[in-house]
Amino acid sequence: MTATDQSAGDAPRAAQDNHDNLLIFRLEGEAFAVSVKGVHEILDLQSPTVVPNAPACSPGLINVRGVVVPVFDIRHRLGMVSGTEHASSRMIVFENVIDGETGRLAFTADSVEEVHETDLSSLEPIPELGAIWPQACLNGAIRLKDELVVLLNTDALFAPDSVDDVAATRGA
């Protein structure tokens, strides 16, 4: 309830100045961003409890302060090979609406860089190069210090299945 109220309240403001704070993180050297509004906290890596027969996009569970949170494999969803852990790897706990329910999930990033305020009207469509990732998961790109940062569409990114199929067929 509160989440809907909040987003309803945010909508007009976003329309006015179209500014948003983005959390920028890296995967395989590429810079990605999600809106900081959904970010709940950032944790050191934890080893998840493996859920048997789980979908590839969410293989396990972790305990975040007494709350059981599913771990989301963002690499799989984006069609990347599963990566190795780095000393700089972090888990981002993100609050999102999944299947009509507000819930938290955690995903691993190779490193978390910064929070950056961005004018969303400067969002550019993803250039050809970016098409290696499923288009539905991307909102666009912004240019930051001569680098392209890919803004992720968290609703599609964290959807339980649909996009998974797309990724699977692409992989095949």
Partner 1 sequence: MMEQAVAAFVQEARDLLTGLEDQILELEGGSTPGQIDEVFRILHTVKGSGGMFGYTDLAKFTHCFENAFELVRSGTLAVGPDLIELSLEARDLMVEFLDIGSDGPDSAALLASDRSAKLMARIEEITGGSGNALAPGAAEGAGGPAAGPAPMTRFEITFRPHKDALRNGMRPELLVRELEDLGETDIGFDLSQTPALSALEPGDACLGWHVDVMSDCGRSAIDDVFIFADEAALTISEEVLEPAAETGGSDLADAGSPAAGAKPAAPSQSPAAGRASESIRVASSRMDAMMDSLGELVIAQARLDAVSDSIGDTNLASVVEEVQRLVTGLRDATLSIRLLPIETVFSKFRRVVRDLSKELGKDVQLVAEGGDTEVDKTVIDRIGDPLAHLVRNAIDHGLETGEQRSAAGKNPRGTVRMSARQEGSEVLISVEDNGRGLDRDAIRAKAIEKGLLDEATDLSESEYYNLIFQPGFSTAAQLSSVSGRGVGMDAVRSMIDALGGSVDVVSRPGLGSRITLRLPVTMAIIEGLRVRLGESIYVIPLSTVEECVEMSAADMESRSGRMVLQIRDQMVPYLALDEIFGQPHSGQETRRVVIVRINGNEIGLVVDDIIGQGQTVIKSLSPYHRDIPGLGGATILGDGRVALILDVATLVRLALKRGGPTLSKAA
Q: Give yes or no for a contact between 141 and 135, defined as CB atoms under 8 angstroms apart.
A: no
Q: Could you tell me the smallest distance in angstroms from the CB atom of residue 146 to partner 1?
A: 37
* 34 vs 57 by CB, closer to partner 1: 57
- 53 counts as binding partner 1 under rule CB under 8 A: yes
- 66 counts as binding partner 1 under rule CB under 8 A: yes
Only one of the segments 13-21, 24-32, 48-56, 133-141 lies at the binding site for partner 1 (rule: CB under 8 A); that segment is 48-56
Q: Could you tell me the smallest distance in angstroms from the CB atom of residue 160 to partner 1?
A: 5
Only one of the segments 21-29, 35-43, 63-71, 114-122 lies at the binding site for partner 1 (rule: CB under 8 A); that segment is 63-71
According to the 3-state scheme, what is the secondary structure of the chain?
CHHHHHHHHHHHHHHHHCEEEEEEEEECCEEEEEEHHHEEEEEECCCCEECCCCCCCCCEEEEECCEEEEEECHHHHCCCCCCCCCCCCEEEEEEEEECCEEEEEEEEECEEEEEEEEEHHHCECCCHHHHHCCHHHEEEEEEECCEEEEEECHHHHCCCCHHHHHHHHHHC
* 11 vs 50 by CB, closer to partner 1: 50
- 63 counts as binding partner 1 under rule CB under 8 A: yes
| 84-113: contacts with partner 1 (CB under 8 A) | 98-99, 101, 103, 105
Residue numbers at the binding site for partner 1 (CB under 8 A): 48-55, 57-58, 61-63, 66-70, 72, 98-99, 101, 103, 105, 160
